[in-house]
């Protein structure tokens, strides 16, 4: 019986002393240049500024019939987007896409804004740039409003999967191309 009493007393004393020992640790500190702290008390910005690269693909439908002699293909597109993140809610996108039906090449630059949230965020933006329409139509200036939703996941929210709608509107002749697509990307 004495053995059990001693064991319980020792465990109670150890449990009472543990918070005192934890409070006696040295205060946390950071070493290294600004924004690269490590060790006790350091911090990390998991989803703030940075660069991301994503691959885009989906359906593309031209509002007008492509010009005579333009490449014929399925109503699909492929592309890529490079994004410079100013903050978690704002980014500057530079994107390219190739539309198979009609052979259009699209290159756009512009801001995109994101809602707060995790893991699902909504996006809206406006890009401007060049739309190359083959077979005599040539180069056109165009705008591209876009809306979408993205799902962020992975370690430190680095993997981004999204769905977007983008009408490519050339100024002048050429007709609108409606694109609905998916994307998958990685934030560095």
Domain boundaries, the chain: 1-44, 50-187
Given a cut of 50, the residues of the chain with pLDDT beneath it are 1, 4, 7-8, 11, 14-15, 18-25, 40-44, 46
Predicted pLDDT of residue 154: 82
CA angle 42, 45, 50 (to 5 degrees): 140
How many helices and strands (H and E) does the chain possess? 1, 8
Contact 78, 97 (CB under 8 A): yes
Contact 128, 141 (CB under 8 A): yes
Residue 23: strand, helix, or coil? helix
Predicted pLDDT of residue 150: 93
- ω into residue 140 within 30 of 0, thus cis? no
Task: Give me the CATH topology for the region 50-187.
Answer: Porin (2.40.160)
The pTM of this model reads 0.71
């Amino acid at each position: 019986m004495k053995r059990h009493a001693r064991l319980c007393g020792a465990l109670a004393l150890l449990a009472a002393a543990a918070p005192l020992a934890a409070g006696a640790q040295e205060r946390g500190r950071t070493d290294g240049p600004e924004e690269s702290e490590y060790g006790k008390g350091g911090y990390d910005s998991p989803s703030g500024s940075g660069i991301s690269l994503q691959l885009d693909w989906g359906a593309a439908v031209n509002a007008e019939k492509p010009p005579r002699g333009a490449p014929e293909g399925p109503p699909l597109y492929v592309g890529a987007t490079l994004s410079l993140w100013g903050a978690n809610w704002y980014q500057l996108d530079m994107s390219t896409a190739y539309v198979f039906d009609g052979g259009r090449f699209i290159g756009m630059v512009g801001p995109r804004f994101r809602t707060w949230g995790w893991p699902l965020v909504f996006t809206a933006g406006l890009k401007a740039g060049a739309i190359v329409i083959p077979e005599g139509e040539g180069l056109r200036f165009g705008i591209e409003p876009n809306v979408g939703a993205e799902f962020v996941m992975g370690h430190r929210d680095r993997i981004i999967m999204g769905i977007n709608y983008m009408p490519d509107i050339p100024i002048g002749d050429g007709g609108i191309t409606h694109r609905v697509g998916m994307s998958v990307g990685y934030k560095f």
